[in-house]
Amino acid sequence: MTTRPDCERLDAEDPLAALREQFVLPEGKIYLDGNSLGVLPRATAARVAQVVQHEWGEHLIESWNTAHWIELPQRVGNKIAQLVGAGPNELVVADSTSVNLFKVLSAALTMARADAPQRRAIVSERDNFPTDLYIAEALARERGFELALVDTPEQIGPRLARGDVAVLMLTQVNYRTGRLHDMAALTAAAHAAGALVVWDLAHTAGALPVHLKRDDADFAIGCGYKYLNGGPGAPAFVWVHPRHADRFWQPLAGWMGHAAPFAFDPGYRPAPGIARYLCGTPPVIQTAALECGVDTVLAAAPLGGMDALRSKSLALTELFMRLVGERCGSQGLSLVTPHDAPHRGSQVSYARAEGGYAIVQALIARGVVGDFRAPDILRFGLTPLTLRFVDVWDAVEQLRQVLESGEWRQERFHRKAAVT
Ligand SMILES: *Cc1c(COP(=O)(O)O)cnc(C)c1O
């Protein structure tokens, strides 16, 4: 049996322990939802106040130049690039994940149509995040493609082998189960079958090492408000392999993606490289906040960077699964996250036939914040930047008490809010 002092010892030996000082962590709360909304970095409030009061309030429009607002999408993009194995000037911050998916998927379809016009299928997984499927469905309708969904990862290979796949669109870590795809292997399989690959890094960027260039991905997008701690509604990012970036327009050809936005030319000329994937004016305040969040992840660089964060994340998720096994064994929770380290992201999820939503609500009332994903998943995100091993022990102890006491059956834990 693992004891709380065992966990205290793990914290004492944790080389990343000090990184948690970078955050405002509310007293009495164990936050297991950094995969949905990352915590607030200490630097953010002052930085946002500076942007609002000084840069905007005093210097007004001059700040586009003097405070370098206009360069924010590239500057913050270059920082994120370091976390996902992309080169300088290959990645920009812009828009939302959904909108960026629309842009890159559309560009990929345009490429496929030019290079292999007989290919009509966009392949994805039925349990991909719904916005990804909706965007793909809409684009497929618009552009005369077919969205083909597989039910298991094992079906991806055979589906590719049918020879009609234009684009394979995958989210690297499944939002419900936490299953992690092998980017190198699946990208190689898609390329061997003549298809392009779009990777959604929403639950990957800032959580585990990603090697977009090394693994030869074609397109990638990701989220700013999850493991990058950019704050609610933070802008997202978009990366296109340099071999593709200059080939085609993206569909949202706004002025910020023009080669010379301030020439005010009536005709569109795309900027070279990734800059053409910008559309309109960047959200300055939100992007400044995102930069603070990205800096909290980059702060791990001298301590081993994403590899060190991954080691701690695996140790946290492994501990969580072990403790639930030891302490909540007979309580109807079935692990849906793959147990093997190479196949799991930075979260642990359980299915439960009854009461999943209410159990999560009862935990939140006790200060342990996870979330529920319909129809039956209890989801616990474990962010290595902020969590201690004792937090995992305490969280599982609360879970044990909620389950054993049956307190989740109380009516107040069953009322559904708009956001789960
Ligand atoms: C969180 C998430 C999104 C969010 O998209 P928004 O445009 O920011 O709402 C998209 N895709 C996946 C896979 C996600 O996990």
9 lies in some domain: yes
Integer CA distances (angstroms), 22 to 81, 362, 392, in order: 21, 29, 19
Sequential pLDDT tens for the chain (420 residues): 899 999 999 999 999 999 999 999 999 999 999 999 999 999 999 999 999 999 999 999 999 999 999 999 999 999 999 999 999 999 999 999 999 999 999 999 999 999 999 999 999 999 999 999 999 999 999 999 999 999 999 999 999 999 999 999 999 999 999 999 999 999 999 999 999 999 999 999 999 999 999 999 999 999 999 999 999 999 999 999 999 999 999 999 999 999 999 999 999 999 999 999 999 999 999 999 999 999 999 999 999 999 999 999 999 999 999 999 999 988 999 999 999 999 999 999 999 999 999 999 999 999 999 999 999 999 999 999 999 999 999 999 999 999 999 999 999 999 988 887
Q: Whose CA is nearest to atom 5 of ligand 1?
A: 97
Q: What is the structure's pLDDT at 420?
A: 79
- Say if residue 281 is in the same domain as residue 308: no
Q: For tokens 């060190």, name the residue.
A: 308
61 lies in some domain: no
- Say if residue 310 is in the same domain as residue 275: no
Cα separation of 19 and 305, whole Å? 11
53 lies in some domain: no
46 lies in some domain: no
- Say if residue 198 is in the same domain as residue 317: no
- Say if residue 375 is in the same domain as residue 394: yes
Cα separation of 287 and 94, whole Å? 9
CATH of the domain at 312: 3.90.1150.10
54 lies in some domain: no
- In contact, 187 and 214? CB cutoff 8 Å: no
- Say if residue 270 is in the same domain as residue 122: yes
Provide the 10 A C-beta neighbour count for residue 3: 9
What lies within 8 Å, CB to CB, of 366 at 6+ separation is: 398, 401, 402
Domain that holds residue 114: 68-298
What single-letter DSSP state applies at residue 393? H
Token pair of 95 as six digits = 């828009």
Q: 349 — phi, psi (to 5°)?
A: -125, 145
252 lies in some domain: yes
Question: Which of residues 269, 298, 327 is at a domain's end?
Answer: 298
- Say if residue 161 is in the same domain as residue 274: yes
Q: Whose CA is nearest to atom 2 of ligand 1?
A: 202
- Say if residue 332 is in the same domain as residue 249: no
Q: What is the structure's pLDDT at 330?
A: 84
What separation in Å is there between the alpha carbon of 226 and the centre of ligand 1? 9
Cα separation of 175 and 347, whole Å? 9
The DSSP line for 277-330 is: G--S---HHHHHHHHHHHHHHHTTGGGTHHHHHHHHHHHHHHHHHHHHHHHSTT
CATH of the domain at 168: 3.40.640.10
Question: Which of residues 298, 320, 340 is at a domain's end?
Answer: 298
- Say if residue 313 is in the same domain as residue 289: no
What separation in Å is there between the alpha carbon of 130 and the centre of ligand 1? 8
What's the distance, CA 320 to chain centroid? 21
Q: Which of 328, 93, 119 is nearest to 233 (CA)?
A: 93
Number of domains the chain is built from: 2
Q: Is 366 an annotated catalytic residue? A: no
What's the distance, CA 40 to chain centroid? 16
Please provide the size of the chain in residues: 420
Q: 222 — phi, psi (to 5°)?
A: -165, 175
- Say if residue 317 is in the same domain as residue 280: no
Q: What is the structure's pLDDT at 2?
A: 94
Q: Whose CA is nearest to atom 14 of ligand 1?
A: 202
195 lies in some domain: yes
Q: What is the structure's pLDDT at 418?
A: 84
Cα separation of 158 and 42, whole Å? 48
Torsion angle of C-alpha atoms 169, 171, 176, 181, degrees rounded to 10: 110
Burial label, 213 (beta-carbon count in 10 A; 0-12, 13-18, 19+): middle
From 23, 31, 102, 129, active-site residue: 129
What single-letter DSSP state applies at residue 413? G
Q: Residues lining ligand 1, judged by CB closer than 6 Å? A: 96-98, 129, 131-132, 171, 175, 200, 202-203, 223, 236
Q: Which of 47, 84, 63, 108 is nearest to 282 (CA)?
A: 63
Q: What is the structure's pLDDT at 40?
A: 98
Question: Which of residues 265, 298, 331 is at a domain's end?
Answer: 298
- Say if residue 375 is in the same domain as residue 406: yes
- Say if residue 191 is in the same domain as residue 207: yes
* One-letter amino acid of 264: F
What lies within 8 Å, CB to CB, of 339 at 6+ separation is: 321
Q: What is the structure's pLDDT at 329?
A: 87
From 103, 226, 276, 344, active-site residue: 226
Q: What is the structure's pLDDT at 419?
A: 83
What separation in Å is there between the alpha carbon of 133 and the centre of ligand 1? 11
Cα separation of 118 and 398, whole Å? 56
What separation in Å is there between the alpha carbon of 97 and the centre of ligand 1? 5
57 lies in some domain: no
- Say if residue 209 is in the same domain as residue 164: yes
